[in-house]
Amino acid sequence: MKTLKDLGNLEGKRVLVRADFNVPLDGTKITDDGRIRAALPTINELRRQNAKIILMAHLGRPKGKVVPELSLAPVAARLSELLDAPVTLAKDTYGEDAQAKVAAMKDGDIVLLENVRFNPEETSKDEAERAAYAKKIAALGDVFVSDGFGVVHRAQGSNYDVAKDIPAAAGLLVEKEVKALSRATENPERPLTVVLGGSKVSDKLGVIENLLSKANRLVIGGGMVYTFLKALGNEVGTSLLEEDQLDTVKGYIETAKKNGVELVLPTDIVVNAGFPAGDTPINPEVVPADAIPADKMGLDIGPASQKLFHDKIVDSKTVVWNGPMGVFEVPQFAEGTRAVAQGLVDATKAGAFTIVGGGDSASAVRNLGFDEAGFSHISTGGGASLEFLEGKTLPGLAVLE
């Protein structure tokens, strides 16, 4: 994979950078700027080289239409604060305003193009349509730097097709992500423990399948665990259940046994009368994992499981975690996720290599107040890191080879 060094001296060059600024917003307020901060090393390196920096990114799912609430204006403002330098926002991605603002740039200037997903061609399945659009963007730059790890698993105009039109390389963030995830999947230090949570088994099928031949230990929590508990013949009440995945999960349990992979499931569960929303009262109750009452819903792993998961994680040399253990946004159901995060912190202190696999896990770590320095690597790409762990070819990386 080509990296920034392969592009040579970039002084005075127009450098198009595809970043991932898809941050959560509350109105115009950014509630988690982690992805913006993750882009700073590449931007600062380009500033050091005195390049003209043209940033592009998406925000939300405007579905090819201009949606004012999804403008990158809050991102431009936050970037300005973090860089202590002006960041000019273009009103479009490649049109008259973008062209004028890029033409007026001096060395070291920064322009942010408006939300690439305001253009229907960005995510078009028609390759010719996407390629023609990418050429218009590519015309703004001399070289292309792919630094939005959160989108490298998609073949889209601004991260894949542009890379075919002008010299292209990975930015520092993408390079760091690939190194970290490769370290966990290619000859990892053992024991390798993979902790999976989140709501659905179906979201993680490929990962489980791939890791059943690589991991020493698979720790399962979150909403997906109820399909595992049901597959073992247990009552799961009104908990999240994917009936259509029961046979697949039974197969995974057998394969784990056959391959000598330790499958760690919770021994106790925190239940409630229903999902904590609207009129549903919050009355948490701890029950054995094999005795969930028929009228109760599992929303977190229990105290005994928290200790079990924590200890299994600490007894590891490499840990990859993707997906929360429960409804961590509600304090009463956040302790399982906290215990796993703490396990990774303690494992890191003991010399293990630990990865928080993006998405909800990364949000949970920040929302629960953990210092990011306590983990070896926090991925910025939920879907991308999952597909990397599945062993899939990611188009946005393949195009940089």
User: DSSP labels for 114-126?
Assistant: --GGGSGGGG-S-
Active-site hit among 35, 101, 296, 338: 35
So what's the pLDDT on residue 363? 87
So what's the pLDDT on residue 100? 98
So what's the pLDDT on residue 295? 96
So what's the pLDDT on residue 172? 98
Same domain, 12 and 155: yes
For residues 26-52, give the mean pLDDT.
95
Confirm whether 179 is a catalytic residue: no
248: pLDDT strictly greater than 90: yes
Instruction: Give me the CATH number covering residue 109.
Output: 3.40.50.1260
Per the annotation, binding residues for ATP are 204, 298, 329, 358-361
Same domain, 227 and 119: no
Q: Are 146 and 168 in contact (CB under 8 A)?
A: yes
Alpha-carbon torsion, ordered 289, 281, 196, 150, to 10 deg: 170
Same domain, 165 and 290: no
So what's the pLDDT on residue 32? 86
Last residue of one domain, picked from the residues 107, 138, 173: 173
Confidence of residue 306 (pLDDT cuts 50, 70, 90): very high
Instruction: Report the distance separating Cα 276 and Cα 256, nearest Å.
Output: 34
282: pLDDT strictly greater than 80: yes
Per the annotation, binding residues for (2R)-3-phosphoglycerate are 35, 117, 154
360: pLDDT strictly greater than 90: no
383: pLDDT strictly greater than 90: no
So what's the pLDDT on residue 34? 87
Active-site hit among 200, 214, 317, 366: 200
Same domain, 299 and 355: yes
In the chain, the amino acid numbered 359 is: G
At 110, list the tokens: 């920064």
At 174, list the tokens: 């993408």
Same domain, 48 and 124: yes
Instruction: Report the distance separating Cα 99 and Cα 97, nearest Å.
Output: 5
Higher pLDDT, 161 or 363: 161
81: pLDDT strictly greater than 80: yes
Q: Which of 313-322, 345-354, 364-373 has the lowest mean pLDDT?
A: 364-373
15: pLDDT strictly greater than 90: yes
Instruction: Report the distance separating Cα 109 and Cα 106, nearest Å.
Output: 6
Same domain, 245 and 280: yes
Instruction: Report the distance separating Cα 253 and Cα 202, nearest Å.
Output: 15
Segment 205-225, tens digit of pLDDT: 889 999 999 999 999 999 999
280: pLDDT strictly greater than 90: no
Residue 353 domain-assigned (yes or no): yes
Same domain, 149 and 9: yes
- CA proximity to 62, closest of 124, 117, 122: 117
358: pLDDT strictly greater than 80: no
In the chain, the amino acid numbered 138 is: A
pLDDT over 70, % of the chain: 100
Same domain, 257 and 375: yes
Segment 139-154, tens digit of pLDDT: 999 999 999 999 999 9
Same domain, 331 and 352: yes
Q: First and final CA of the chain: distance in angstroms?
A: 4
So what's the pLDDT on residue 344? 98
Per the annotation, binding residues are 20-22, 35, 58-61, 117, 154, 204, 298, 329, 358-361
So what's the pLDDT on residue 337? 98
Residue 125 φ/ψ region, left for φ over 0, alpha for ψ in the -120 to 50 degree band, beta for the rest: alpha
Same domain, 128 and 252: no
So what's the pLDDT on residue 350? 98
Residue 400 domain-assigned (yes or no): no
Confirm whether 357 is a catalytic residue: no
Q: What DSSP designation does 68 have?
A: G
Domain total for the chain?
2
Domain that holds residue 67: 4-173
Per the annotation, binding residues for substrate are 20-22, 35, 58-61, 117, 154
Confirm whether 200 is a catalytic residue: yes
At 276, list the tokens: 């904590």
Q: What number of other Cβ atoms are within 10 A of residue 164's Cβ?
A: 13
pLDDT over 90, % of the chain: 91
Residue 399 domain-assigned (yes or no): no
Last residue of one domain, picked from the residues 149, 173, 197: 173
Active-site hit among 198, 222, 323, 359: 359
Same domain, 71 and 101: yes
**pLDDT mean across residues, the chain:** 96
The full length of the chain comes to: 401
So what's the pLDDT on residue 273? 94
Same domain, 246 and 357: yes
Confirm whether 35 is a catalytic residue: yes
10: pLDDT strictly greater than 80: yes
Last residue of one domain, picked from the residues 173, 196, 229: 173
